[in-house]
Structure 1
Amino acid sequence: MKKNIPDNVVFSKDKGYHANILPYGSSVAAPAIKVDDVIAWKNRNIHAVNKEFENKFNELKFQYQKLMEEYEWNELVYSAKYAFEPVIGEVYHVYQADDFSYFLSLIAPQEWNKTHIGTFLLNSDKKWIKINS
């Protein structure tokens, strides 16, 4: 079958010359069709998203470690010996006794010579908050 129209001319029997309605360039003088570099875009965004996940993971890890530390301090204070009911908002001190057990006291560390473990505040949720002193 012989073709009467050159290859660079857009012609069909149904539509005729329809190069002006095509979504892409159809002549030799048309701008080149360039394929976007999707792989580089993906790699950049994968790196950014992975960095975000890593930051969130590290934040959660830090929060978990902080929560576990609070849990351990609360476990220590609640397992300590004391013969009074602690008051919310008051500061208490945990000491180590001669038998290596722990006890809770109102006496400040500078007022006597005992092994001071930590200073704590009882909050309204009945959670012991360690005070850095």
Structure 2
Amino acid sequence: MTRGGLFRALVALAGAMGAAGVALAAASAHQPDATRLASASSMLLFHASAVLAAVLLAERRVIQEHLGLAAALGFVIAAALFAGDLTLRQYAERSLFPMAAPTGGTLLILSWLMLALAALWPRRGV
């Protein structure tokens, strides 16, 4: 995949995360005992913005590009794991797989640390 293609793919995934986050927020507002959906919504909405920011910073070369894009991809995968597990628990009363939400949460933490490292890592040619 080309550099521009990867940027566009991540932006498209962030858009899908944002849309899913809004849909889950609406569902949580209209269903009884839907706190899982509210948490899933928050994770998707918050990290959709983080993906956009990481892509923009990488594209502008403010941060080390490869680490920044890896962090953005980590945000996508981790938020999907976390939100997917909570949503499945709400609607199907089962887990995505054992420890899916904690795995997603741990990957989110690691992705934030990778983004911090991308800001501190020396960029080539600068």
TM over 0.5: no
Greater percentage in helix: 2
TM-score, length basis structure 2:
0.28
Greater percentage in strand: 1
Structure index of larger Rg: 1
TM-score, length basis structure 1:
0.26
